Structure 1
């Protein structure tokens, strides 16, 4: 992009009356900007949805949590969860798609009330209040070709194998930084799955939720299976509230709703619908988490 420096207006327009008029116009514009309540205090405003009895949520397509249909519609684990929580709060759900980084920024600024598919980090906890217990859990898993499976029961079994992974992805340590492993990167999980299916690599590593979905969607169940090895790492998936949302005042109520959804089997049912490969015991269990949510960083 080329930027052309503009010449001063006085070199084209001469005479004090014109310059004075321009200065007055600028002064009026500045006064209007800072006197308008919607503009002057934007960062401190809660989402307008609260006055309308709605809950504003954002999502980024991430199967099977948010799945885009052929006609552009969205369904999945997160959408069913959001609708149920909003319904139990007596609110109408208003959801909107966005790139993931934009979703995070909207939550930070208070432009939305809630965001799902949210993994914990201390940095995020500064602007997001995590709801406990989490409603899902994803794990790094290795997959092999069913017709010619290699044995992967321990981490050491990975050495000497051609391993497919998604570029710029992080799975677990020591795998991510292990220089002794032979890794082949591609732009998406479906690409490395196809490489595994035709025997170009020995195994792939992937997030079980996403990889399971792609295997099922592309009818690869008879060609690709999970290896026995599991790392000790998993990522809990949360719902989170913006700290600038007025829904913060209902945090305890939302925590109770989430616990009720676990107890009633709702969480398991929506996973069975959109992620049938998941084993119920692999989902977050209520006894793993205290009744009251831990205090997040301010």
Structure 2
């Protein structure tokens, strides 16, 4: 009798220990939610209904690899940029990709130590108008399409004399330009060049002669309210390794090579 009771107790203790081990593993595995706005080739809607997700792109793959290397589950959700910034700032979402330092300062967001990509701000117009835009003053009087919530460069962002027309998604801008709702587009070249190439519009919509010469470094941003220092440290280490190994460059090249160049990884 006592031996059967002892075996029964030992069996239950073994099951309790196994349950506690599994429970601690589940508890240790964090889950973060990432707000990602449409910005080809960083985030793009998939055209197939058989895919595992409804999006693809550089940022999509970046977050999957960050999750794998850091041991932190990351669930990306597609958002309009303006709402994404607000929700990460308020702590409703945890992470955002494609963050600039201006956005981080405006919405009081944290960001990982190193940028993962670099673009440049450019203006675009129809092939007939693009050669006539030589300087900043030539923007006056033109309706300029831009993505709501995006920052481009200080002079433009603060200039209230310019006529600006906001949209929620980048892919809306070429159509509005061709339908003459706008005369100009302002965008990051690595995004707009890719989009125009995919749409076959490189001959109809072109960069203007005026080039602000503004580089834009892109960061993975995060909510200061929801991410702990240890979580940020794990993500930072994962990103450093990815940059040092050239992993991000290979992914970027597979999407947009040779339209733009990735950030050179910082030396250890």
**Which runs of 4 or more aligned residues in structure 1 lie more than 6 Å from their structure 2 counterparts after TM superposition?**
198-201
Question: What secondary structure sits across from 1:150 in the alignment?
Answer: helix
Select which of 227, 239, 251 maps to 2:208.
Answer: 227
Distance 1:228 1:277, change over 3 A: farther
Match of 1:105 among 53, 78, 87: 87
What SS class does the counterpart of residue 222 from structure 1 fall into? Answer: coil
CA, structure 1 residues 53+142, in 2 after alignment: closer, same or farther (shift >3 Å)? same
TM-score (norm 2): 0.67
Contact 1:55 1:113 in 2 (8 A): no
The Cα offsets for residues 105-164 of structure 1, whole Å up to 9 and x where unpaired, read as 35643x655332223333544xx43211111234321123336642444434545x7453
**Structure 1 unpaired stretches of 5+:** 1-47, 292-298
Q: Does 1:73 find its partner at 2:49?
A: no
Corresponding residue number in structure 2 for 1:270: 251
Pairwise CA distance, 1:73: 1.0
Contact 2:35 2:88 in 1 (8 A): no
- TM-score, normalised by the number of residues in structure 1: 0.61
**RMSD between aligned residues:** 3.8
Residue 61 in structure 1 maps to residue 37 in structure 2? yes
Unaligned runs of 5+ in 2: 1-23
Partner of residue 145, structure 2: 165
Deviations 1:196-223 (A, max 9, x none): 4477876432233442343133221232
| SS of residue matched to 1:220 | coil
In the TM superposition, 1:109-120 aligns within 5 A as 109=91, 113-120=94-101
Conserved 8 A contact 2:119-2:216: yes
Pick the aligned partner of 1:51 from 27, 30, 43.
27
